[in-house]
C-alpha cells in the first residue's frame, strides 16, 4: 500500500528527455498498464498509436505551444477513443492514460499528458499526422523518454476540498 502511494506521488510531468531510446519491451509494459485501467461496461474503447518516427514526432509539436516535448521524446503514445464503442470513452481513456503515466514512473522513465481533446483543431492535426479516421477521437499525446530533469514527489492534498457526509460540511 505504501508503495502504491509513493508511486502516485512520484509521478510528475517530465518534459525533457535524454536521447536514450525505449525498448519494445518497455513500450509494451506501458501499454499493458494502460489497458489494465477500469472501463465502463468493460467496453475498452481505447486504441494507442506508438510513434517513434522523428518526422511524425516533430509534426505533433505543431498541435499547440505546450506539445514541444514530442520532438525530443523517445516515443510518443497517442491515446485514442472510439465513441461508437462507448459513450464513456473520455473517462476510460483518461483512466488508461493515468495508468500509463504511473507505469512510466515505475519504470524510471518520464512523461507528460499533452492535452488534445476537446480542441477540434488539435485533434484534426493529430488525425492528419497519424492517419486516424474521422470517427476516432484523440484524447491526448504522451511523450515518453529517459528523464533529463528530476522533480520531487508531492501530494497536493487540500483539506478545504474535502467534505464529510454533506457538501460544505468540513468536519
Ligand X SMILES: Cc1cc2nc3c(=O)[nH]c(=O)nc-3n(C[C@H](O)[C@H](O)[C@H](O)COP(=O)(O)O)c2cc1C
Query: Is residue 66 near ligand X by the rule CB under 6 A?
Result: yes
At 108, which helix (H) or strand (E)? none
| CB of 95 vs ligand X, minimal distance in Å | 12
| CB of 166 vs ligand X, minimal distance in Å | 28
Which single residue brings its beta carbon nearest to ligand X? 115
Is beta strand 137-145 parallel, antiparallel or unpaired with respect to 75-81? Answer: antiparallel
Pick the binder of ligand X from 113, 124, 146, 148 (CB under 6 A): 113
Backbone angles phi and psi of 51, in degrees to 5? -110, 115
Pick the binder of ligand X from 5, 6, 13, 84 (CB under 6 A): 13
Query: Is residue 137 near ligand X by the rule CB under 6 A?
Result: no
| CB of 70 vs ligand X, minimal distance in Å | 10
Looking at the Cβ atoms of 63 and 166, the one nearer to ligand X is 63
Query: Is residue 7 near ligand X by the rule CB under 6 A?
Result: no
At 139, which helix (H) or strand (E)? strand 137-145
DSSP secondary-structure letter at 49? E
Terminal Cα distance for the chain, rounded: 26
| CB of 64 vs ligand X, minimal distance in Å | 7
Pick the binder of ligand X from 80, 114, 136, 138 (CB under 6 A): 114
Residues in the chain: 171
State how far the alpha carbon of 104 is from the alpha carbons of 22, 68, 81, 88, 89, in Å. Answer: 11, 19, 21, 24, 22
* Contact footprint for ligand X (CB under 6 A): 12-13, 15, 66-67, 112-115
Amino acid at each position: 500500500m505504501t508503495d502504491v502511494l509513493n508511486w502516485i506521488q512520484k509521478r510528475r510531468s517530465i518534459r525533457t528527455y535524454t536521447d536514450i531510446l525505449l525498448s519494445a519491451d518497455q513500450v509494451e509494459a506501458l501499454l499493458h498498464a494502460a489497458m489494465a485501467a477500469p472501463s465502463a461496461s468493460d467496453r475498452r474503447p481505447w486504441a494507442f498509436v506508438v510513434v517513434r518516427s522523428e518526422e511524425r514526432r516533430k509534426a505533433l509539436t505543431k498541435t499547440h505551444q505546450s506539445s514541444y516535448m514530442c520532438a525530443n521524446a523517445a516515443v510518443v503514445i497517442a491515446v485514442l477513443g472510439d465513441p461508437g464503442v462507448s459513450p464513456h470513452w473520455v473517462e476510460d481513456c483518461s483512466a488508461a492514460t493515468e495508468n500509463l503515466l504511473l507505469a512510466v514512473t515505475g519504470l524510471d522513465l518520464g512523461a507528460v499528458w499533452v492535452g488534445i481533446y476537446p480542441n477540434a483543431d488539435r485533434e484534426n492535426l493529430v488525425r492528419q499526422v497519424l492517419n486516424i479516421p474521422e470517427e476516432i477521437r484523440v484524447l491526448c499525446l504522451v511523450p515518453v523518454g529517459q528523464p533529463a530533469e528530476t522533480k520531487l514527489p508531492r501530494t497536493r492534498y487540500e483539506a478545504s476540498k474535502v467534505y464529510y457526509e454533506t457538501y460544505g460540511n468540513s468536519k
